[in-house]
Amino acid sequence: MGDKTNISWCDATWNVSRGCSKVDKDCQFCYMMRDSLNGTRYNPNIVQRTKTVFDFPLKYKKEKSDVWQGKPLIFTSSLTDVFHPAIDSFRNEMWDIIRACPHLIFQILTKRPERIKECTPLDLLQADNIWFGTSVGNKDGAYARILQLSMVDCKTSFLSIEPLWENFDLRSICIAYGFHPNWVIVGGESGNENGKYRYRPCELQWITNVVSDCKAMGIPVFVKQLGTHISKQMGLSDRHGANIEEFPEHLRVREFPEF
């Protein structure tokens, strides 16, 4: 975590805690839980407040983003879920740090969008420098969580359709809920060939469908990766299928919101 990250749609990651608990099938091969098996010193099933990096944004010196034409983008948080109940006791400390850093944009991605309104101070729901997003990978999750996010009255909302492991009609869902997110991220799942944390297939057409739906609705879309399944099919050099130069030309799309 910190000011060095391999996540292509942010400049840095800020983790107020480590650990989480699974919500549904979208969490089956959670990368945080997978990576915790590689010698890290925390239990991924126990949510623990971070120590040395908890105030990371207060020390972050970058003034302009390297990935888009705007303020630095801080993914909050990549190793936990900000709206997990176990964070209730110290979430206000997180909000205080965000208030103190109007020069940064905080991308808060959750699988618990139903808790956003009750856990976020009113003044921050409409903050210019907070983007509220939810993560979906299949049709059931999309219907449930997009509905909950559509009920949040915030300045900027976004969807992370990654890992995409089932085809669904994003445009129809958004129309049904009268929802128009400011941004969409999409990508296939990456994982191991064996063991507990593998990966589910994603098809190029599914990603294409998301990109097409976004373009039809006028929503900026960011294709993060194709995933391990497509990478193997196409014989790509990157096992995650994350090298944009290896994407089919029509999927070389990495847009950000415009304000």
- For the segment 193-251, what is each residue's pLDDT rounded down to a tens digit? 998 889 999 999 999 999 999 999 999 999 999 999 999 999 999 999 999 999 999 99
| DSSP, res 72 | P
Looking at residue 87, what is its pLDDT? 98
pLDDT digits (tens, 9 = 90+) for 147-203: 999 999 999 999 999 999 999 999 999 999 999 999 999 999 999 999 888 999 999
Report yes or no on 1 lying in a domain.
no
Range of the domain at 110: 12-251
Q: Which of residues 1 and 170 earns the better pLDDT score?
A: 170
Which pair of tokens denotes residue 146?
Answer: 């997009």
| CATH code: domain of residue 67 | 3.80.30
Looking at residue 189, what is its pLDDT? 97
pLDDT beyond 60 at 1: no
Looking at residue 89, what is its pLDDT? 98
Looking at residue 39, what is its pLDDT? 65
Give the whole-number percent of the chain exceeding pLDDT 70.
Answer: 97
Report yes or no on 258 lying in a domain.
no
**What's the whole-model pTM score?**
0.96
Nearest to 130, CA basis, from 82, 80, 167: 82
pLDDT digits (tens, 9 = 90+) for 123-152: 999 999 999 999 999 999 999 999 999 999
Q: How do strand 48-49 and strand 17-18 relate by DSSP bridges?
A: antiparallel
Report yes or no on 6 lying in a domain.
no
Looking at residue 36, what is its pLDDT? 81
What total of structural domains would you count in the chain?
1
Report yes or no on 256 lying in a domain.
no
pLDDT digits (tens, 9 = 90+) for 33-55: 888 876 667 889 999 999 999 99
pLDDT beyond 80 at 3: no
Report yes or no on 148 lying in a domain.
yes
Report yes or no on 259 lying in a domain.
no
Report yes or no on 137 lying in a domain.
yes
256-22-41 Cα angle (round to 5): 90
- Those residues whose C-beta lies under 8 Å from the C-beta of residue 73, and which sit 6 or more positions away, are 9, 10, 11, 12, 65, 67, 104, 105, 107
Looking at residue 118, what is its pLDDT? 97
Cα–Cα dist 211/146, whole Å: 17
Looking at residue 35, what is its pLDDT? 84
77 — pLDDT class (breaks 50, 70, 90): very high
